Every structure is written in structure tokens, then in C-alpha cells.
């Protein structure tokens, strides 16, 4: 019998009710699931080099997800636009064919500490210029990250 690590987080998309994002204990990979087609991941998101701690969908940008991990990175993923992994970059192909269901992050931010949690800021006066903000916690600090 094969052991599968337990799922740690599950996040439902606010824009596409059939999409879920999840990751397993000690995993570096986020899997996007379509509840209409259970049993196989729709997409795999490779980019973290250490265990993922948190994921959250953007409330204002359809198909956009943020993740934080023990590698001290916050990664932002755009699932609507193809962004295949780069060769030699965390999870990228080393000369072989590229899987259609694998993506790389579109943006990143390095925290001073392991990222414990993150949250998208709701629309406010801060976002009048069209930018989005992420609240990020790590160590004993909290940061506001403008995208």
C-alpha cells in the first residue's frame, strides 16, 4: 500500500466555483483540482524549494493565487495565462518535454523569514491605482506587499 501525505490546506476559488487549490504536508507542489473531474490534478504549480505553508486565491483577479513557504518566498501564480517552467528553475524541465499541466510563478517576493501565512487585502483606497496588496506574516513580523 502506498502512503499519501495528508492534505494541509484547501482553498476554493472565489471566481471559479469548481476550482480548488491544495497542497500536502511537507510538499513543494500546489495542485489545482477541478471538482468536476476528480482523481487527477488539473495543474501543478512548481516554484517553492521548501514546504508550502499557505495558499490563497486573489479576490479581485480571476485565476490568480498566492503561496508562501519555508523557503521564505511568496509566489504569485497566474493560472489563466500559460507560464511553463523555465529549464533548471525549481521544477523546470532539464531538456525533456514539458507537461501541459505544470506552471511556474509569475511574480515573487522574498521575506526575511519563513512565510507562515498570507492574505490578499480587500479593495480599498490603497488599491485605487489598480495594484493589489498581500499581507504576509513570517517570524514575528507582518509585511504589506504591493503587487
Please report, in tens digits, the pLDDT of each residue of the chain (147 residues total).
Answer: 677 788 889 999 999 999 999 999 999 999 999 999 988 889 999 999 999 999 999 999 999 999 999 999 999 999 998 665 554 444 444 333 345 667 789 999 999 999 999 999 887 665 566 678 999 999 999 999 988
The number of folded domains in the chain is: 1
Residue 89: predicted pLDDT = 41
Contacts of 73 (CB under 8 A, 6+ apart): 47, 48, 49, 108, 109, 110, 111, 115
Residue 83: predicted pLDDT = 63
Closest by CA to 49, choosing from 91, 96, 97, is: 91
Catalogue the long-range contacts made by 82-88 (C-beta closer than 8 Å, 24 or more residues apart). Answer: 85/46
Domain housing 37: 7-146
Q: Is 70 inside a domain boundary?
A: yes
Residue 84: predicted pLDDT = 57
Neighbouring-strand partners of residue 23? 9
Q: Is 56 inside a domain boundary?
A: yes
CATH of the domain at 56: 2.130.10.10
Q: Is 104 inside a domain boundary?
A: yes
Residue 2: predicted pLDDT = 73
Q: Is 1 inside a domain boundary?
A: no
Q: Are strands 43-46 and 102-103 parallel, antiparallel or unpaired?
A: parallel
Q: Where are the beta strands (DSSP E) in the chain?
A: 7-12, 19-24, 29-34, 43-46, 52-57, 64-69, 73-78, 102-103, 107-110, 115-120, 133-138, 141-146
Q: Is 2 inside a domain boundary?
A: no
Neighbouring-strand partners of residue 26? none
Q: Is 134 inside a domain boundary?
A: yes
Q: Is 36 inside a domain boundary?
A: yes
Amino acid at each position: 500500500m502506498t502512503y499519501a501525505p495528508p492534505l494541509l490546506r484547501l482553498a476554493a476559488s472565489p471566481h471559479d466555483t469548481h476550482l480548488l487549490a491544495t497542497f500536502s504536508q511537507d510538499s513543494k507542489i500546489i495542485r489545482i483540482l477541478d471538482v468536476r473531474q476528480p482523481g487527477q490534478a488539473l495543474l501543478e504549480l512548481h516554484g517553492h524549494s521548501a514546504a508550502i505553508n499557505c495558499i490563497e486565491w486573489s479576490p479581485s483577479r480571476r485565476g490568480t493565487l498566492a503561496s508562501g513557504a519555508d523557503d521564505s518566498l511568496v509566489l504569485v501564480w497566474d493560472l489563466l495565462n500559460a507560464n511553463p517552467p523555465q529549464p533548471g528553475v525549481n521544477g523546470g524541465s532539464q531538456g525533456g518535454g514539458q507537461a501541459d499541466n505544470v506552471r511556474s510563478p509569475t511574480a515573487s517576493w522574498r521575506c526575511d523569514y519563513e512565510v507562515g501565512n498570507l492574505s490578499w487585502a480587500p479593495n480599498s483606497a490603497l488599491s485605487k491605482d489598480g495594484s493589489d496588496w498581500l499581507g504576509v506574516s513570517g517570524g514575528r513580523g507582518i509585511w504589506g506587499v504591493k503587487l
